Amino acid sequence: MEIATALWCFVGFAFGGLVFVAYKLGLLYQLCHKVSPFRSPRHGGESVAEVLRAHGVKFVFTLVGGHISPILVACEKLGIRIVDTRHEATAVFAADAVARLSGTVGVAVVTAGPGLTNTVTAVKNAQMAESPLLLLGGAAATLLQGRGALQDIDQMSLFKPLCKFCASVRSVKDIAITVRKALAIAQSGTPGPVFIEFPIDTLYPFHLVSKEFGVKNPPKGIMGKVVTWYLHNHLKNLFAGAWETRDVSPLPVHIPQATDNQVQKCIELVSRAKKPVILLGSQATLPPTPADDIRAALESLGIPCFLGGMSRGMLGRNSPLHIRQNRRDALKDADLVLLAGTVCDFRLSYGRVLNRRSKIIAVNRDKTQLLKNSDMFWKPTVAIQGDAGSFLLRLSKGLKGHKCPEDWPQSLKAGDVTKEKANRGKADEKTDRHLNPLSVLHRVDELMADDSIIVADGGDFVGSAAYIMRPRGPLRWLDPGAFGTLGVGGGFALGAKLCRPESEVQWLWRQRHPHWSRRRGQAG
């Protein structure tokens, strides 16, 4: 009896082990799902293109490479415009601009290895600017990774610190759900870049991949048969169930919101304030709240506003509520400061410019940015991890009928006028050899069309442009963001013109002095 029991246990364990091995080798999945017909022209790039089209993607930016060509071919067939650039970083910068201006995810597709490493600065810039960006990259074939294949490096380790989500596709059937998931994550919470790696054998048709898997001179005997069977089985796992119907529609996007209690507390604080100010950051321009609705909410509140990043232009060209100068002095006098997507980093002197006696309301989707340096130089009265745009709408609705005391924005506007007269005097100063850059900026601003989009590229020059140039409306200003990257202009201008073909794009940058450049071995 004991022997029989032991025998049955052994059989059970053996059977369970065989089932587990069959599962790991994909044999069970192959029993239920068909492998692609040998001569089928279908390929993984089609699955990528179908998902992108379902998500409203209109442009894909690239520098063409063999690893990712099937994606580009399929996108073009489905009506998605392929925009080829001269450098991979430019492709990502252009996708970043599309993301900021369109409210959708910007998409860049680049080849493996050096193609991807060329994008690192641009992806980091998108991460710090909180731009929803999808980077699709090629990779060595699944069985050749780590074996010294052409352009094969550990791409996942490179991009994990830069992206909200990283994935490596291991079979054709996984393409659609992986791309859908990445697009949802890029837009959820705090937007940012996501990365998907596509080994070359997941993108090309079955018959082409099978040629590469074939062993010309397999070892003789049992080892040769095992190797041949393993390669053949791996190929079938790549394509099993590849063309079954799959959902390509967008997944839900999660956007954090302030609670009713938090909004009510802020309504009470604002209603008691005599000298409130709002500092608006790029996050206030993010979907789902339309920029025009936010502008109406700000005008209803009547609170003077300082605008930064993508929020520049939110109040138009000459709003009495838009204060452009003397921000430090205004913050010292303010009794309430609302940081709507604005971060206490170097741009606010790490929070040291805030008056410790002021009530401070901070709203940000990212908890880390929400409380940046709050343990050192400042402390929020109310800290809300939520969407700044929808919060402003709810605040305005709760304060309907309430207006900020008019003498406060009027006094700040008077200071604005005085400071801008002084700046104009600097612009009128004559120079011995070169153009006065302030004069150039004033002149461009005077001649600029109302529908123009301003692309500001380059260090201190961006700061000067921000004080002088006046975007005529919301989402008409592009600058690098918190990373301060130089060289974004070409890609940003390209993306902006594609998004708004009817608009002028004013690309502002300062060329380096040729003598300075030669001394440092750089191009002028």
pLDDT (tens digit, 9 = 90+) per residue, 82-106?
999 999 999 999 999 999 999 899 9
What's the CA gap between 399 and 387, in Å, rounded? 18
For residue 25, the one-letter residue type is L
Task: Give the distance between the most distant pair of CA atoms in the chain.
Answer: 108
108 three-state secondary structure: strand
pLDDT of residue 18: 55
| Nearest partner of 267 among 359, 334, 192, 200, judged by Cα | 359
pLDDT (tens digit, 9 = 90+) per residue, 377-423?
999 999 999 999 999 999 999 999 888 898 999 999 999 899 888 88
pLDDT of residue 19: 52
For residue 84, the one-letter residue type is D
What's the CA gap between 97 and 92, in Å, rounded? 9
pLDDT of residue 524: 30
Cβ pair 312, 470 in contact under 8 A:
no
Report residue 159 as tokens: 């991009």
Report residue 367 as tokens: 């908890």
Cβ pair 115, 152 in contact under 8 A:
no
* For residue 288, cis peptide bond before it (omega within 30 degrees of 0): yes
For residue 156, the one-letter residue type is M
Mean pLDDT of the chain: 89
Place of tokens 């699709």: 136
Residue 164 has phi, psi (to 5 degrees) of -70, -25
Residue 134 has phi, psi (to 5 degrees) of -110, 115
pLDDT of residue 420: 86
| Nearest partner of 293 among 396, 224, 382, 210, judged by Cα | 396
| Nearest partner of 205 among 111, 70, 48, 76, judged by Cα | 70
Question: In Å, how far are 274, 416, 428, 437 from 423, measured between CA atoms?
Answer: 29, 10, 9, 12
Q: What is the pTM of this model?
A: 0.89
Between the two ends of the chain, the Cα-to-Cα distance in Å is: 91
What's the CA gap between 131 and 499, in Å, rounded? 15
pLDDT of residue 337: 97
Instruction: For the chain, list the domains and their CATH numbers.
Output: 44-239 (3.40.50.970), 260-416 (3.40.50.1220), 429-509 (3.40.50.970)
pLDDT tens for the chain, residues 1 to 524: 666 665 556 556 665 555 555 545 555 555 565 666 666 789 999 999 999 999 999 999 999 999 999 999 999 999 999 999 999 999 999 999 999 999 899 999 999 999 999 999 999 999 999 999 999 999 999 888 788 887 888 999 999 999 999 999 999 999 999 999 999 999 999 999 999 999 999 999 998 988 877 666 666 778 777 777 778 888 888 998 888 889 999 999 999 999 999 999 999 999 999 999 999 999 999 999 999 999 999 999 999 999 999 999 999 988 999 999 999 999 999 999 999 999 999 999 999 999 999 999 999 999 999 999 998 899 999 999 999 999 999 999 999 988 889 899 999 999 989 988 888 888 888 888 888 888 988 898 999 999 999 999 877 778 888 888 899 999 999 999 989 898 999 999 999 999 999 999 999 886 655 444 443 333 33
